[in-house]
Structure 1
Amino acid sequence: PTLLSFSVKSNCKKFVTSKRIIVIIIMGTVIDSHFLALTAIVTFGYQLLFFIVTALLKFDKVTDFAGSTNFVILSLLTLILKGSWHWRQTVLSFLVVVWGLRLGLFLLMRILNWGEDRRFDEMRSNLGKLAIFWIFQAVWVWTVSLPVTIVNASDSNPDIQAQDIIGWIIWSVGITIEATADQQKLIFKNSPENRGKWCNVGLWGYSRHPNYFGEIFLWWGIFVSSTPVLEGAEWLVIFGPLFLTLLLLFVSGIPLLEESGDKKYGNVAAYRHYKKTTSPLVPLPPAVYGNLPSWFKAAFLFELPLYNKNLPKEESLGWYRAGSPGTKIG
C-alpha cells in the first residue's frame, strides 16, 4: 500500500509538472518578446465580440468605435505588461490613446446622429461579407499598431533623439488636420442649407480628403518616433503606416468616397471643377493644384484614374454652365 501510494503521488506530481510546462509554453507563445501573438489574440477577440453584436442585433453603429478603441487597448496593454515606462514608450502610447479616443468618440457620436452606416447596407443580410469586414478591421488594427507595439516591447531605451521630436511634430500636425477636417465637415453636413451639397469649406477647399491626409500623416509620425529603438527585423513595422496609406488610397477610403461623390454630383459642373482644382489628399491651394500638369498630379499627388472612373464623360455635359452649381441652361 505504501509503494502504491508513493507511485500515485509520483504520477500526480509528474502530471502537475507537465501541466505547468504546457501552461508556461502557451503563455510564452502568447506573451512573446514583441507582444505580437498577444496583440493578435486580443485584437481578434475584441473584434469578434463586436462582430457577434453586429450579426445578432443588426446593430452596426459601433463598428468604427470598435476599431479606434482597439488601438487604445493595444497601446495601454503592451505598455503596462512591459512595465518599463520609458519616456518614449509612454509618449507614443499617450499619442495613440489620444488619437483613438478622439476618433472613436467622434465617429460614434456622428453615426448616432446621422443614423445607419451605409457601408453595411449589403452586409447586414450577408454573414460572409460581414465576417470579412471584421476580419479585415482586425488586420488593420494589428498591423497599423505595430510601431507602438514594438516600442513598448523593447528593452532598448536610447536618449530622446531628433527622430522622436520630428515624429511628435508630425503627429501633432496630423491629428490637428484630421480633427479640424472632421469638425468642419460635421458642421457643414448638419446645416440644413447644405443638404445635398458636397463639403468644400475650410480644409476641404484644399484637399478632397483632408481627414485621411491627417490620419496618414500622424501614423507616419508614430513610425518616425519609433525608429530610435528599431533593430534588424523590427524595421518591418514600417508596414504599419504603409498598410494604412495603401488602404486609404486604394481600397476602403478615398476610392469609395470618390465613387459615391461622382454618382451624386458627377453631372454638376461646379463639382467637376472642384475635383479638377482640389487635391485628392495633400492640401494645396486650388490655384496651384489646378494649374499643375496631369502627369505631375498622378505621379506625386495621388490623382489616380480610379478616382474618376465614375465621372460622366465631358461631352455629355454640354448643357451645364462651367463652374455653375449644376444649373441647366439649354
Structure 2
Amino acid sequence: MGIIKILGTAATTLGTVVFTQGIAVLGTQVPKLRPQILNYLGFYTIGVQWVSFIHAGGLFGNKPTEKYYDLIGSLTHLSTIGISVLALRPLSKISVRQAIVSSCAAIWAIRLGSFLFYRIHNSGGVDSRFTEMKEDWTKFFTAWTIQGAWVFITLLSVLVINQRIDKIPLKPINYVGMGVWATGFAMEVVADFQKLFFKQNPENAGKWIDTGLWSISRHPNYFGEITLWTGVSLMCIDQLKNKRRLLALCISPVFVACLLIFVSGIPLLEQKADDRWGDNELYQKYKNNTPVLVPFIKNIW
C-alpha cells in the first residue's frame, strides 16, 4: 500500500508539473523576448511549495502544520508577479496596462493572504481542510504541489501580458475589466468580513450566516473571486486578432470558476453545511431560497 501511495503521489506530481508546463507553452507569445520565462515561472511556483513542504510536512521532525499554507500561496503570488514584471524589461518600460493588472493581482494576493493568515492564526493554526490530510504525507504533499499550479494558472493572464513589450493603448474593454475587477474584489472583501464578524459574535455560535451578501448568495466570496479574475482577463486584452492569446487569457477565470464550483470550494462547504444543519428546516428554507453562487439567480451557478 505504501508503494502504491508513493507511486500515486509521483504520478499526480508529474501530471501537475506537465499540465502547468503545457499551459505555459500555450501562453507563450513572443519568441524574441525569452518565451521560456513562463516555463520558468511554472517551475518556480511549484518549487516554492516543495521547499515550504520541508517544514510544513514535518520533515525536520516537527509536527506537520497547515498554518502557513495560504500565506505561502499568497507570497508565491506576489513574488511571481514581481518576477514577471522585472524579468524582461526595466521598470521604465512597463506599460499602464501591465502596471494596472499587476497591481490588481498583487492587491488581491496581499488582502486574501493576510486575511486567511489572520483567520488561521486566531483558530490556533488549524484548518479543517487539512485535519485528515496532513496525517498522510502523500496527500499533504499533493495539496502543496497543486497550490503551486493554482498560483501559476490563476496568474496566467497577468503573466501573459507581462511577458511582452506592451505599446497598445488601453481599450474600452480594459476599462470594463477594471470595473468588473473592482466589483468582484469589493464583494469578496465584504463577504469575507461579514462572515468573520458573524462568527466572532458568541450569539451566533452553531448558526449559519444568512445576512448581508450571504442572503443573496450562499457563497458570495467565491462569486467575487471568479468575478475579479474575469476582470483581470478583460484588462489584459490588448488585441482580438491573436486567438491563441485570447484563449490563454480565458484560462485563468475558467480555471478559478471550475476549481471553486466543482472541486475545492463549494462542494466541500455544501457537504459540511448539510452534515451540520441538514435536518434543520430553517436551513433547508435558506438553502432552497438562496442561490448557490450567482446572486439573485437560483437556476445557474
TM-score between both structures, scaled by the size of structure 1? 0.76
Residue identity matched to 1:262: D
Q: Give the whole-Å Cα distance in 2 for the aligned partners of 1:134 and 1:107.
A: 16
Instruction: Find the aligned partners of 2:286 and 2:169 in 1 and give their Cα distance.
Output: 47
Contact 1:33 1:153 in 2 (8 A): yes
Secondary structure, in 3 states, of the residue corresponding to 2:66? coil
User: Residue 97 of structure 1 aligns with which residue?
Assistant: 106
* Distance in structure 2 (CA, Å) of the matches to 1:132 and 1:59: 14
Separation of aligned partners in 1, 2:189 and 2:117: 14
Q: Which moved more, 1:71-80 or 1:87-96?
A: 71-80
Q: Percent identity?
A: 36
**Secondary structure class of the residue paired with 2:245:** helix
The CA distance in 2 between the partners of 1:183 and 1:32, in whole Å, is 42
Which residue of the partner structure matches residue 123 of structure 2?
114
Q: Secondary structure at the match of 2:57?
A: helix
Q: Which amino acid aligns with 2:109?
A: G
Instruction: Output the amino acid matched with 1:236.
Output: L
Rounded Cα–Cα distance in structure 2 between residues aligned with 1:38 and 1:229: 26
TM-score, normalised relative to structure 2 = 0.83
Q: Take 2:216 and 2:276, find their aligned partners in 1: how far apart are those partners? A: 21
Task: Report the CA distance between 1:229 and its aligned residue.
Answer: 4.9
Matched, 1:45 2:56: no
The answer to whether the aligner puts 1:64 opposite 2:70 as a matched pair is yes
CA shift, 1:69, in A, is: 2.4
Larger Rg: 1 or 2?
1
1: CA distance, partners of 2:141 / 2:163: 30
Contact 1:34 1:154 in 2 (8 A): no
Q: Calculate the aligned-residue CA RMSD, in Å.
A: 1.6
User: Structure 2: any 5+ residue segments left out of the alignment?
Assistant: 1-30
Tell me if structure 1 keeps the 8 A contact 2:226–2:253.
yes
Q: CA deviation at 1:178?
A: 0.2
CA positional deviation for 1:34: 6.0
Equivalent in the alignment of 2:234: 224
1:210 pairs with 2:197: no
The ranges of structure 1 where at least 4 consecutive aligned residues each deviate by more than 6 angstroms after the TM superposition are none
Distance, in Å, in 1 between the alignment partners of 2:112 and 2:187 is 12
Please point out which of 233, 238, 241 is paired with 2:244: 233
Q: Which 5+ residue runs of structure 1 have no aligned equivalent? A: 1-28, 303-330
Q: How does 1:149-228 map to 2 (within 5 A)?
A: 149-228=159-238
Shift of 1:55: 0.3
